[in-house]
Copies of this chain bind each other. A is one copy, B any other.
Amino acid sequence: MRPVIALLTDYGTRDGFVGTLRGVIKRLSPFVDLVDITHQIPAQDILSASFVLAETAPYFPSETVFLAVVDPTVGTSRKAIIARNSWGLFVCPDNGLLSRVHLKSPLEHIVSIENPKYTLQTQSTTFHGRDIFAPVAAYLSRGESMDVFGPPLEEITLLESPKPIHHVDGSIEGRIIHIDVYGNLISNIPYMKAEEGAHAEWILGEKSFSGIKQTYADVDEGNFVAVKGSHGYCELSINKGNASHVLGVKRGDKVILSIKPDS
């Protein structure tokens, strides 16, 4: 099996930052396959990185090394870590980036990256992607054991993920946990809570609408629709429109789902 390093950063693609990461890795691990998840996580948005990483990682080959760098506190005392779960190995700053990965497939072993043998000599205080994370990922992809990089850690930083609240009246209060590039609003309400055909009523800010559909095109263009999102959660959208812009909804906003009895 050819080793794979999957990359996720907020470096953008307009400058040389990502190219530098790739060069560092290729120099140390010439046979690795570099596969981009995205480099356009909104700048310093750890929650977004955490969501996207947890939703894409399970689709990769199981020995993949995930190099994930969204690092607003680079150069401070925050640790650099390697963590392992059933999906593969994760190399990243310890700032909560693995919160949703851990929720979906618990981390089994974590080490703190401290061995200077595996990082670049000319270490900067602002570009640990190049100087620490990329070389460590490269060595891991060559089969180096994670324990050579530093001592085990008992715990890491985890950001809380909001859970849906079940009210006495039977309604479910969820939160928007991610907004994708199309402006689709991904809630934390699992799809099985609202099977298609049920008399679902949604309240989102000042807007309310009903129903749950198979796909966007099941309503007319410009109309609101709730669908089973590809992540397995209820997703609130406008067919061929941008629900986030139209409603002014932001991540963390509340959404209420009521299932009406079949009358």
Binding site for B on A (CB under 8 A): 1-2, 4, 6, 8, 11-20, 22-24, 26-27, 30-31, 33-40, 43-44, 52-53, 55-57, 59-62, 64, 72-76, 124-127, 130, 180-182, 214-218, 227-230, 235, 240
Are B181 and A52 within 8 A (Cβ)? no
| Contact assessment for A37 and B16 in the assembled complex, using a CB-CB cutoff below 8 Å | yes
**Cβ distance A43 to chain B, nearest Cβ, rounded Å:** 7
Which residues of B sit under 8 angstroms from A15, Cβ to Cβ?
38, 52, 180-181
- Tell me if A13 and B39 are in contact (CB < 8 A): yes
Residues of B within 8 A of A76 (CB): 215, 217
Task: Find chain B residues with CB under 8 A from A8 CB.
Answer: 19
Say yes or no: B34 contacts A35, CB within 8 Å. yes
Task: Show 15 A/B contacts (Cβ-Cβ < 8 Å), sorted by A.
Answer: A2-B31, A13-B36, A15-B180, A16-B56, A19-B52, A22-B35, A22-B37, A23-B35, A26-B33, A26-B64, A73-B217, A75-B216, A125-B228, A126-B215, A126-B229
User: Does A215 contact B40, Cβ atoms closer than 8 Å?
Assistant: no
In whole angstroms, what is the CA distance A57 to B22 when docked?
A: 11
Within the complex, which residue of B19, B62, B73, B214 is in contact with A38, where a contact is CB–CB below 8 Å? B19
Count of this chain's copies in the oligomeric assembly: 3
In the complex, how many angstroms separate the beta carbon of A212 from the nearest chain B beta carbon? 11
Residues of the B chain whose Cβ atoms lie less than 8 Å from the Cβ of A1 = 30
Distance in Å: Cβ of A115 to nearest Cβ of chain B? 21
The answer to whether A215 touches B74 (Cβ under 8 A) is: yes
Closest Cβ of chain B to A130, distance in Å, is 7
- Residues from chain B with a CB closer than 8 A to the CB of A27 are 59-62
Which residue of chain B lies nearest to A44 when distances are taken between CB atoms in the complex? B240
Q: Which residues of B have CB within 8 Å of A240?
A: 44, 72
Known: A26-B60, A30-B1. A55 touches B215 (CB 8 A): no
Task: Judge whether A14 and B36 touch: CB under 8 Å.
Answer: no
